[in-house]
Structure 1
């Protein structure tokens, strides 16, 4: 305990170089200034959800109509190393991943301390160590007889802190937990801003899961304060906001406006967007989605969402980043790779043709596939001059598509939900499952869709009613499937039994939990 600051997590070797007294004081100052606002905004989210649950519709906000109507304001132009972002690779912050991603040939690496990382104390602090060394250009690794170091040319580093909803249980300020977002942002910014600037880059961030322009205003105020505390000019920090919530899509203009001195782009975070759609309309039986595999970017409400993001960004001088195709290369399976590469190529062609300025991949082996598409269809550094025709209405963004609701879809939700949660409990946040790279959004879609199907008494195409008994039976069956695949490690280290307990509890609960990671963090990682 020092100056009201307490660290309760284990101090492993090297942690003292990140958790320094000045760095922790920096985070504590941000906490003391902005924690009350964060808490009030989280309460506002609950109030908005109660509004939707009562049958009220979601629409563009009346109080900010003047912002949307004003054609004159623009965001600050992007710095040189964020002008061309045609391929970005994403992943967690373990040391090998950071080196390989920076060396991948992508323009940017989004180093994820959020959904691609399990928020254990060790993962969060080791991630900061790795990102500090990456920002300095000194990161190396010796592993199993192999040496890893950075190439002469590397991707631009962008960090993604945790969302506003997650606490960091192992840092207390005046007896209160700090926000995970402030812990992640504050330590990264404090340690790395100056060294990134000295190397010709800057402190760049991806901001997840914003639901309201006031949440963007909070980030903008934090950026302004943080820059002032380190005597850096306004606009040194640059942010990209993930439009991965349905409420956030309705406030894309306003989010850009609030962050106009610091923002460079919006991103279509498609998987969390589907999760947010289900969560927003959890009480509306007319908004029940079909099998996850049927909710592609070509269904009307998803296609309208993507066009809306591109249109909004380019009118304001911001880049519009595409999302991540979850396919990954399959080792020693040429046929599977041919299909995966074709699916990724088609997805990236759709994005580039719509006007996106770049895209995401989850594996270094896919950088070349995405790069070829954007080099061919986007010969310039970006496509800021491309503005899709039309406008997006509330109906465009909220009308549920038709499609199959099948026992196979329900079974896949349970299988993937168990597989991901088990990996998350083992400390993995990005997990290859069935030739797809999955993060926390996977489990969120799986459990919220099953919850909504159950409370809506959905009858599957095969005639089965989705009820507690069906979910229990298939969960038991899929536990047996995982046991047969995992073998001896199933009980010892697999965490599948614990994963099933979490999954059942959430899917069969009377009330839909906003984020599965919140109660799971409290039970497994907050100690």
Structure 2
């Protein structure tokens, strides 16, 4: 056992292959170097959010104007195997999904330990094992029904998404040099285990250690990641710049610092991604208390063509191509249903239109959440790209986005009774799935993950606080939402499910006076961490180590 990085979680089959003494020492070195800066950026986030809530408008930073106006610098760009990213499939790293993603025919697999994964200890370590095996082509799976899954000849390039800076891993206890103990950083654990075990193997196989970086809010957070990458390359003895990252622009503060984020990561950067669902959630979270002008209508009405989303995506493409970076589109939530041809036809139509718009706007690739959508998405990008691997050389000099356009929240739509009820039902059913360890759930023919569920619960909180009245004349109150929650429970509760726990979470997330910054923080601590692990952490914590972002001020 490593003296300062202790495993508190239970041992599962083959866990010792991932949680080796050498890997734990590597995690300790990452924490020693970077955990203090992690705490600083989380504090800065809360200060900025408080300022926005109090009326400060976001702006392009005057202190970094020289970076934006310097025409010379470029990012490192695509690493080996990342030149063509026209279709990327996203999904968690359970055994079956790993094989299905690797056999999907997509160019890239976003192997997700963030919004599409419920961070149970079994999922966190088991996902690392599945990735370890997949990279070495030794992964297989037999379903309970006896169906066997094996890897095909052609497999996608893996880009791994660790948890965001705000999340912790309580099943590992880190003690710093002065002797203060607390939970490990989820980001450093996920990144560190993947890089330690797989970097050299990936390089030998003609690829490399590639990452998606979630939830960034500033260029200073990008600088922290860049330093993590450089330090890791030094420790592992691989050339500087081998690690490549694609940053998700999925928060409204980050939208004002896209160019600076690219600049900070320029030696390691492959591109930016338009993380649409978390971006909408970030808008609601940051402006939730600033009046009716910042109150959005039904979730279904917030499409990619509304003014603030259009400005955001056009700025992203223009910024990326100006600096030689890939611009990767987001995920349409529509998914096919193999038992319902009408649902499938509607999903394919919606996805086709979404990807046609992205390819036409200059995106170099896009996400899908289901293998049956790959051909549809690919066809739209093939029509624009042809034999070219990307369209990074397509400059968008016609794009000139001003700060006010990024927060132009005017949308042709209203809050409806059906929209309120849908948000309650989605939040309940998604959280119930998440508590059972399933972080990507098909609900009403849409793929829901933590980001889409965040929109549903944060809209409920905002509508209650703003005294919103629906199109039909119903005032959205805590009592009304409680009644809808009771109705949803009566409709969906099962004997073997976690619906009562999920309902308790919905009440805390949507009905409480304070606004929880992320639904995953409290849900993780209360329901996914074994009581004995919590007791062990509390017994040894000897100082104020923050465990996450907590609740908004």
Aligning the two structures, in what range does the TM-score lie when normalised by the shorter sequence? Answer: over 0.9
**1:162 CA displacement:** 0.2
- Does 2:264 align with 1:255? no
Structure 2 equivalent of residue 344 of structure 1: 351
Post-superposition Cα deviations, 1:141-162, rounded to whole Å, max 9, x if no partner, equal 2223222121111100111000
SS of the residue 2:116 aligns to: coil
**1:3 CA displacement:** 2.3
Match of 1:461 among 471, 490, 509: 471
- Give the Cα–Cα distance (whole angstroms) in 1 for the partners of residues 342 and 140 of structure 2: 35
Check whether the contact 2:77–2:271 (CA below 8 A) recurs between aligned residues. Answer: no
Matches within 5 A, 1:69-80: 69-80=69-80
Query: Which shows bigger deviation, 378-387 or 421-430?
Result: 378-387
- Does 2:526 align with 1:516? no
Match of 1:187 among 189, 193, 204: 193
SS of the residue 1:429 aligns to: coil
Matches within 5 A, 1:52-451: 52-143=52-143, 144-174=145-175, 175-285=181-291, 286-379=293-386, 380-388=388-396, 389-402=398-411, 403-451=413-461
Structure 1 equivalent of residue 36 of structure 2: 36
Check whether the contact 1:321–1:358 (CA below 8 A) recurs between aligned residues. Answer: yes
Post-superposition Cα deviations, 1:61-91, rounded to whole Å, max 9, x if no partner, equal 1221111111111001312311110000000
Structure 2 equivalent of residue 478 of structure 1: 488
SS of the residue 2:81 aligns to: helix
Check whether the contact 2:87–2:377 (CA below 8 A) recurs between aligned residues. Answer: yes
- Give the Cα–Cα distance (whole angstroms) in 1 for the partners of residues 372 and 17 of structure 2: 34
**1:525 CA displacement:** 1.5
Structure 2 equivalent of residue 503 of structure 1: 506
Check whether the contact 1:99–1:140 (CA below 8 A) recurs between aligned residues. Answer: yes
Post-superposition Cα deviations, 1:198-223, rounded to whole Å, max 9, x if no partner, equal 11000000010000111100100000
Scaled by the length of structure 2, what TM-score is found?
0.93
SS of the residue 1:114 aligns to: coil
- Give the Cα–Cα distance (whole angstroms) in 2 for the partners of residues 374 and 390 of structure 1: 21
Structure 2 equivalent of residue 487 of structure 1: none
Structure 1 equivalent of residue 539 of structure 2: none
Scaled by the length of structure 1, what TM-score is found?
0.97
Flag structure 2 segments of 5+ consecutive residues without an equivalent. Answer: 176-180, 531-553
Post-superposition Cα deviations, 1:24-65, rounded to whole Å, max 9, x if no partner, equal 110111011100000010010000011011111111112211
- Give the Cα–Cα distance (whole angstroms) in 2 for the partners of residues 157 and 229 of structure 1: 22
Check whether the contact 2:2–2:24 (CA below 8 A) recurs between aligned residues. Answer: no
Post-superposition Cα deviations, 1:140-197, rounded to whole Å, max 9, x if no partner, equal 1222322212111110011100000000001112122111010000000000001111
- Give the Cα–Cα distance (whole angstroms) in 1 for the partners of residues 476 and 76 of structure 2: 50
- Give the Cα–Cα distance (whole angstroms) in 2 for the partners of residues 77 and 184 of structure 1: 23
Structure 1 equivalent of residue 529 of structure 2: 526
- Give the Cα–Cα distance (whole angstroms) in 1 for the partners of residues 59 and 528 of structure 2: 37
Relative contact order: is structure 1 or structure 2 higher (C-alpha 8 Å, sep ≥ 6)?
2
SS of the residue 1:240 aligns to: strand
Check whether the contact 1:290–1:401 (CA below 8 A) recurs between aligned residues. Answer: no
**1:96 CA displacement:** 1.1
- Give the Cα–Cα distance (whole angstroms) in 1 for the partners of residues 77 and 417 of structure 2: 49
**1:506 CA displacement:** 1.6
Check whether the contact 1:431–1:438 (CA below 8 A) recurs between aligned residues. Answer: yes
- Give the Cα–Cα distance (whole angstroms) in 1 for the partners of residues 2 and 233 of structure 2: 24
SS of the residue 1:289 aligns to: coil
- Give the Cα–Cα distance (whole angstroms) in 2 for the partners of residues 338 and 517 of structure 1: 33
Large movers: runs of 4+ above 4 Å = none
Query: Which shows bigger deviation, 34-43 or 3-12?
Result: 3-12
- Give the Cα–Cα distance (whole angstroms) in 1 for the partners of residues 479 and 148 of structure 2: 52
- Give the Cα–Cα distance (whole angstroms) in 2 for the partners of residues 299 and 480 of structure 1: 36
- Does 2:22 align with 1:17? no
Flag structure 1 segments of 5+ consecutive residues without an equivalent. Answer: 484-489
- How many residue pairs get aligned? The number is 520
Post-superposition Cα deviations, 1:484-511, rounded to whole Å, max 9, x if no partner, equal xxxxxx13x2111111111011211112
- Give the Cα–Cα distance (whole angstroms) in 1 for the partners of residues 77 and 282 of structure 2: 30
Check whether the contact 1:420–1:442 (CA below 8 A) recurs between aligned residues. Answer: no
Post-superposition Cα deviations, 1:434-456, rounded to whole Å, max 9, x if no partner, equal 01111001221011111111111
Structure 2 equivalent of residue 486 of structure 1: none
- Give the Cα–Cα distance (whole angstroms) in 2 for the partners of residues 401 and 412 of structure 1: 22
